[in-house]
Amino acid sequence: MNKASTKQLWSKNLVVLWFGVFMTGMGMSEIMPFLSLFIDQLGSYNKQQTTFYTGIVFAVSFLVMALVSPIWGRLADKKGRKLMLLRASLGMAVAFFLMGFVTNVWELMLLRAVQGALGGYVSNSNALIASQTPKEHAGRALSILVTGITAGTLLGPLLGGILAGVFSYRLTFHITGIIMLFVFIFTYFFVKEGSVDHKSATISRASATPIVLRDIIKNRFLFFLISTTMLVQVVNMSINPILSLFVKELVNPSSASSITFIAGVVAAMPGISTVIAAPMFGKLGDKIGTQKLLVFGFILASIIFFLTSFVSNIVPLIILRFFTGISDAAMLPSVQTLLSKNTTEEHTSIVFSYNQSFQSIGSVLGPLTGSIIASLFDYQGIFIFSGFLMLLNLLIFWAVAIKNKPYIKERYH
């Protein structure tokens, strides 16, 4: 396969997979506005019970995904990434569609677990693009992919609220399933895995020595990268349980009726800025070095979180949350780019799957950590904790990466 056709392959796949991760993000997030209301309809629960069940139903998908992702990643490296993309999109389509028929919270919980078990569309999209894209363009390509999942996650709650209002909670689940079915169809017809010799490439992947988490831990740089993904997710999710309450403290009493809207604006700011900044940062990282962009992200995040702990009205909070998304745009694609540059092609899916597992763990630990810190040190304590966590990441990066310079390797051996 010549250079021109290789570029055409990954460029076309990037377009299709951007749509796929966008719709996946939208499908995953559009049930959030009415999840607790739907659970309340499934039984006679008091406020505490509804809150508890909502938390469990929300978390179970991420917990199962954290456990199962490496299994699918290992299979993707052996059998092909497109196959795993098809499995994930079709599996989630069926799981979402069936959620519209549940009669109790336990059935919903089970299907959320199935959704997590059959997931992995985003991680396999990252792995496919990382393995196909020339290393000099990897940062830009993976950053563009990040904008897809971010934009979908941002717009999902808006679409879900509209659908639930116009139709019903159950029909919204059915529509979400149909959306994921379209993702399956687009992936089947338009994503090309491609290879100079597909048969020999498949044999090479199948005969490659498998790696497990222990191997990644031994490679301190790879372990640092996937740990960074987890910690960034912890920081991003830690504010979720208290966001509306924190906004309520900052707005004027006369604006109390607009608290939900303002909280929505505050919540959307990081995603909006990430979508804007990620492609530019990805291209910049390919030019100046991805490791430099990651250092910038750590420093900016630390400063922003420490400043956020001092806000006393809503406008500075909105501005600082916007800059939080800019730091995310510098950090998350940089981690994925460095993973791709330090991983062999036959191990790309398993490494990205472990990265997905650690991100899922962060999604569970984040809200729990935020709730605990808020109860002990008030809301501002969450931002101070987040600032120190990002500063710690920077120091570890200095010790692990800059002193030993493992990032200069193009591949992980």
**DSSP class of 402:** I
Query: Where in the chain are all domains bearing CATH 1.20.1250.20?
Result: 1-192+199-207, 214-413
Tokens 């799981």, residue? 95
Rounded CA separation 240/245 (Å): 10
Report pLDDT for 112.
Answer: 93
Rounded CA separation 319/309 (Å): 13
**Banded pLDDT at 3 (limits 50, 70, 90):** low
Mean pLDDT of the region 332-348: 83
Report pLDDT for 133.
Answer: 85
Report pLDDT for 409.
Answer: 47
Report pLDDT for 271.
Answer: 86
Rounded CA separation 158/271 (Å): 14
Give pairs for 97-104: CB < 8 Å, separation 24+. Answer: 97/173, 97/174, 97/176, 97/177, 97/178, 98/177, 99/31, 99/173, 99/176, 99/177, 100/170, 100/171, 100/172, 100/173, 100/174, 100/177, 101/170, 102/42, 103/42, 104/42, 104/43
Structure tokens given for 104: 């109790």
Contacts of 294 (CB under 8 A, 6+ apart): 330, 331, 334, 335, 338, 397
Report pLDDT for 306.
Answer: 95
- Is the pLDDT reported for residue 244 higher than 50? yes
Q: 1-192+199-207, what's its fold?
A: Growth Hormone; Chain: A; (1.20.1250)
Mean pLDDT of the region 199-205: 46
* Number of other residues whose CB lies within 10 A of the CB of residue 225: 28
Question: What Cα–Cα distance (Å) separates residue 311 from each residue in 204, 250, 370, 389?
Answer: 55, 9, 18, 19
Report pLDDT for 102.
Answer: 96
Tokens 């950590």, residue? 369
Report pLDDT for 347.
Answer: 79
- Is the pLDDT reported for residue 84 higher than 90? yes
Structure tokens given for 116: 């997590």
Report pLDDT for 294.
Answer: 92
Helix (H) or strand (E) holding 57: helix 47-79
- Is the pLDDT reported for residue 202 higher than 70? no
Model confidence over 118-177: pLDDT tens digits?
988 998 998 898 888 887 788 888 888 988 888 888 888 878 888 888 888 899 999 999
Length of the chain: 413
End-to-end CA distance of the chain: 25
DSSP code per residue over 111-143: HHHHHHHT--HHHHHHHHHHHHS-GGGHHHHHH
371 neighbors 242 (Cβ within 8 angstroms): yes
Percentage, residues of the chain above pLDDT 70 = 88
Strands (DSSP E) contained in 38-189 are none
DSSP code per residue over 335-361: HHHHHHHTS-GGGHHHHHHHHHHHHHH
- Is the pLDDT reported for residue 181 higher than 90? yes
Contacts of 115 (CB under 8 A, 6+ apart): 61, 91, 92, 95, 96
Q: 214-413, what's its fold?
A: Growth Hormone; Chain: A; (1.20.1250)
Helix (H) or strand (E) holding 324: helix 314-341
Helices (H), 219-289: 220-238, 243-250, 259-288
